[in-house]
């Protein structure tokens, strides 16, 4: 198993808030210094390291003395503003102590979901890496609103990792890996060392639990895993709270390894496959499922149901007759037209729409089929 971090050339490391911030004492400097030692070891061996660091809101809360009470949106935005400046300063100090430069990158959802902005963010981050500066990335929580945000840094980190062509994503967490059930609730839960593919059965193991400080539980980690592995990025979930948590992986400490797809999507399709919020859903018939699996476009004739209000060019999820997502793609019609032509043969479309239109509802060039089934291993 290629779990050793030495095997990877570009590594994105996601750090949860609870690892970096203590509610009463603030930033955990000793822990951060130990993590930075690990980062420095990887970069001096030639790897690129990108950091996705949570902790802005938690740190801002502590600095502002806001206690544990629930915060209004504008209060958490203000806490993020206070926390982020301290957080970035701590990263810059600690990385600097090891002779490493760093650059702060704050992103909002549109920076990865809109194609033009995605290319722009990618160019900036690649330039930082070329300049041998460690990108320290977080969501721009100060301007993010409840409706328009990643919300959790697990998926943000997966989006960044795949955007940057990282071959590994490490999620440092408050749990040491994936279990057959949440171990805090079920003592008989068995640890899973390797996941070949994130199946619905694997997803059922996640439960919904999140810790007090972190937004994501195991569910957002598996969502991150799907984004990463589809694009050929391996993922590791391991306990972050010990000192030197990255070198701990190489020492053989417990971690769950998610194997990347053997036939990953590439380039433009990576952007499509990782879209976080499809604008709509198309339910298709069995014939269309077969066509999609053999690499064909989705024709209107195979579409049974259209849901959501989307525009031409938006991402839609394509579901099989039993409701499971089988593909994702950019739709060639607005929702209103898609409803009108669903189920129609190509020859009938122009008459209904009143104009000569494209024959595909989702063209094969704009479409990514979900990963085919592979076996799963469980350690008893
Ligand atoms: N972006 C949030 C912060 O820095 C954290 C999100 C998360 O916990 O996943 O406070």
The per-residue DSSP string of 135-162 comes to: EEEEE-TTT--SSSS--SHHHHHHHHHH
* CB 144 near ligand 1, within 6 Å: no
55 Cα–ligand 1 center, Å: 6
pTM comes to: 0.88
CA of 154 to the centre of ligand 1 (A): 9
| CA 264 to mean position of chain CA atoms | 15
pLDDT tens digit sequence for 100-158: 999 999 999 999 999 999 999 999 999 999 999 999 999 999 998 877 888 899 999 99
In three-state secondary structure terms, 192 is: strand
Cα(180) to ligand 1 centroid in Å equals 26
- Express each pLDDT in 344-376 by its tens digit: 998 888 888 888 777 899 999 999 998 654 444
Q: How many CB atoms lie within 10 A of CB 365?
A: 12
H or E stretch covering 18: helix 17-20
- Ligand 1 neighbourhood includes 278 CB (under 6 angstroms): no
Q: Indicate the helix (H) or strand (E) that contains 349.
A: helix 346-353
- Alpha carbon separation from 294 to 102, 281, 315, 372 (Å, rounded): 45, 21, 21, 12
Q: Which atom of ligand 1 is nearest to the CA of 59?
A: 10
CA distance 27 to 20: 6
Write out pLDDT tens, residues 323-332. Answer: 989 999 999 9
pLDDT for position 380: 38
C-beta of residue 151 within 8 angstroms of C-beta of residue 165: no
CA pair distance 162, 60, nearest whole angstrom:
29
Q: What is the pLDDT of residue 208?
A: 53
Q: Which helix (H) or strand (E) holds 33?
A: helix 29-44
Would you give the end-to-end CA distance of the chain in angstroms? 18
**pLDDT of amino acid 200:** 85
- Spatial distance between the Cα atoms of 288 and 285, rounded to a whole number of angstroms: 5
Q: Which residue lies with its CA nearest to atom 2 of ligand 1?
A: 54
Cβ–ligand 1 distance for 57 under 6 Å, the answer yes
CA distance 49 to 98: 14
Domains of the chain: 5-270 (3.40.1160.10), 278-369 (2.30.130.10)
């Amino acid at each position: 198993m290629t779990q050793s971090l030495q095997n990877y050339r570009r590594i994105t490391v996601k750090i949860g808030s609870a690892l970096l911030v203590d509610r009463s004492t603030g930033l955990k400097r000793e822990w951060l210094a130990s993590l930075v030692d690990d980062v420095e070891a990887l970069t001096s061996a030639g790897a690129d390291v990108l950091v996705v660091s949570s902790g802005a809101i938690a740190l801002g809360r502590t600095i502002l003395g806001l206690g544990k009470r629930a915060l209004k949106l504008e209060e958490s935005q203000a806490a993020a503003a206070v926390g982020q400046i301290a957080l970035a300063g701590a990263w810059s100090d600690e990385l600097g102590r090891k002779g490493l430069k760093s650059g702060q990158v704050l992103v909002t959802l549109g920076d990865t979901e809109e194609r033009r902005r995605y290319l722009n963010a990618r160019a900036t981050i690649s330039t930082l890496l070329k300049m041998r500066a460690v990108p320290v990335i977080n969501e721009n929580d100060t301007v993010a609103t409840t409706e328009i945000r990643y919300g959790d840094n697990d998926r943000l980190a997966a989006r960044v990792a795949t955007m940057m062509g990282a071959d590994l994503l490490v999620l440092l967490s408050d749990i040491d890996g994936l279990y057959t059930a949440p171990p805090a609730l079920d003592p008989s839960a068995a640890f899973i060392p390797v996941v070949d593919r994130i199946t619905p059965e694997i997803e059922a193991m996640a439960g919904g639990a999140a810790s007090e400080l972190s937004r994501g539980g195991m569910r957002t980690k598996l969502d991150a895993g799907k984004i990463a592995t589809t694009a050929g990025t391996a993922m590791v979930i391991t306990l972050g709270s010990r000192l030197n948590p990255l070198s701990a992986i190489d020492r053989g400490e417990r971690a769950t390894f998610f194997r990347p797809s053997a036939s990953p999507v590439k380039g433009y399709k990576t952007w499509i496959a990782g879209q976080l919020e499809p604008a709509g859903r198309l339910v298709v018939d069995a014939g269309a499922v077969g066509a999609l699996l053999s690499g064909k476009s989705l024709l209107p004739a195979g579409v049974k149901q259209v849901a959501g209000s989307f525009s031409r060019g938006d991402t839609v999820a394509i579901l099989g007759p039993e409701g499971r997502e089988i593909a994702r793609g950019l739709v060639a019609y607005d929702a209103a037209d898609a409803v009108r032509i669903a189920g129609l043969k190509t020859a009938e479309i122009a008459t209904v729409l009143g104009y000569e239109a494209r024959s595909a509802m989702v063209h094969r060039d704009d479409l990514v089929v979900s990963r085919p089934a592979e076996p799963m291993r469980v350690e008893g």
